[in-house]
Amino acid sequence: MAGVWAVLTAAGESTRMGRPKPLLPWCGATLVECQVSALADAGAAHVVVVVGHEADAVIPYLAHPKASYVVNTDFLRGKATSVKAGVRAVSEGAGAILLLAVDQPRPATVISRVIEAHLEAGALITSPRFEGRGGHPLIFAASLRAELEAISEETEGIRQVFKAHRHEVNEVPIDDPVIRLDLNTPEDYERAKRLYGSSSPLAGGAKEGT
């Protein structure tokens, strides 16, 4: 299947959050369900969800028709293992690979803008930016698949791919701080819920301070 395939990593221990991030309530569902729906609604051809910690509890929430999952048994060795597990599950016919973590909730409208910018530019790598600072999701051309599969924690994960192609990154300005949102702690989560977590499902981004 051609198009942009999304890899949604959701395998971590959620140590700082204190409970599994994929199962956090968000927009009337679980965070992982909202993320899958947002990616599918934004135009992803398929969503590969990488599970690991508490996999048996998360898998029942992955029934979306455009989603599948892969279990990363090496998740304790770091985020790079989840990216690699997800990329390996992407169709060989995919035109591009989008990377996003489950604790980085994004509205479909924002994801769609990043996907469109990537396709319109025929870019090698596309990175959204808010006020000059990089965010997510990131999109990589399928030609970089082997490099993504070769990343490791010791070589800075996907940063090594960025560094190798730093002059070929398509930077897309996004006027919404949501592209930098990460839910790392209970405080992050509660604040993000007030700003972004009440629409259904992630229908639009709020602005900081509104």
Identify the CATH number of the domain in which residue 158 sits: 3.90.550.10
Give the pLDDT confidence score for residue 205 in this predicted structure: 42
Give whole-number Cα distances, 125 to 74, 154, 163, in Å.
27, 22, 11
Give whole-number Cα distances, 148 to 10, 164, 166, 169, 190, in Å.
18, 12, 15, 15, 33
| Inside any domain, residue 91 | yes
| Inside any domain, residue 102 | yes
- Report the alpha-carbon distance of residue 77 to residue 67 in Å, rounded: 25
Q: How would DSSP label each residue in 151-176?
A: --GGGTTTHHHHHHTGGGEEEEE-S-
User: What is the DSSP secondary structure assignment for residue 33, as one 8-state letter?
Assistant: H
Give the pLDDT confidence score for residue 209 in this predicted structure: 34
One-letter identity of residue 86: G
- Report the alpha-carbon distance of residue 124 to residue 142 in Å, rounded: 8
DSSP three-state, residue 131: coil
Residue 97 belongs to domain spanning: 4-196
| Inside any domain, residue 35 | yes
Total domain count, the chain: 1
Give the pLDDT confidence score for residue 201 in this predicted structure: 45
Give the pLDDT confidence score for residue 156 in this predicted structure: 86
| Inside any domain, residue 151 | yes
List of the chain residues with pLDDT < 50: 200-210
- Report the alpha-carbon distance of residue 142 to residue 93 in Å, rounded: 9
| Inside any domain, residue 92 | yes
Give the pLDDT confidence score for residue 204 in this predicted structure: 42
| Inside any domain, residue 140 | yes
Partners of 175 in the β-ladder: none
| Inside any domain, residue 210 | no
* Antiparallel, parallel or unpaired: β 96-101 and 138-141: antiparallel
Contact 176, 207 (CB under 8 A): yes
| Inside any domain, residue 170 | yes
